[in-house]
Amino acid sequence: MVKRAEIQELTEFLMEYTITMLSIGAYTSRVEKCVTRIGKAFGYEVYISIFSKNIAISVLSPNDYSTRRTYVRSYQDNGLNFNAISLLSALSWHAYDEKITFSHLKRYYYKIIKKKKYSYFSTLILVCLANASFCRVFGGDLGSMPIIFCSTFIGFNIRVYLSLLKVDLRVIFVICSFIASMVAYSGCILGITKTPDVAIGSSVLFLIPGVYLINSVIDILDGHSLIGISRVISVAILIACIAIGLYTTLSFADVRMEY
173-224 pLDDT, tens per residue? 999 999 999 999 888 888 888 888 888 889 999 999 989 999 999 999 998 9
Query: Phi-psi bin for 166: left (phi > 0), alpha (psi -120 to 50), beta?
Result: left
CA max distance for the chain: 75
Per residue in 185-197, pLDDT (tens digit) is 888 888 888 888 8
pLDDT at 117 over 60: yes
CA distances from 51 to 27, 101, 204 (A): 12, 30, 29
Is the CB of residue 210 less than 8 Å from the CB of residue 184? no
Model confidence at 6, in pLDDT bands (50, 70, 90)? confident
118 vs 246, which has greater pLDDT?
Answer: 246
Is the CB of residue 20 less than 8 Å from the CB of residue 35? no
- Average pLDDT on 158-168 reads 93
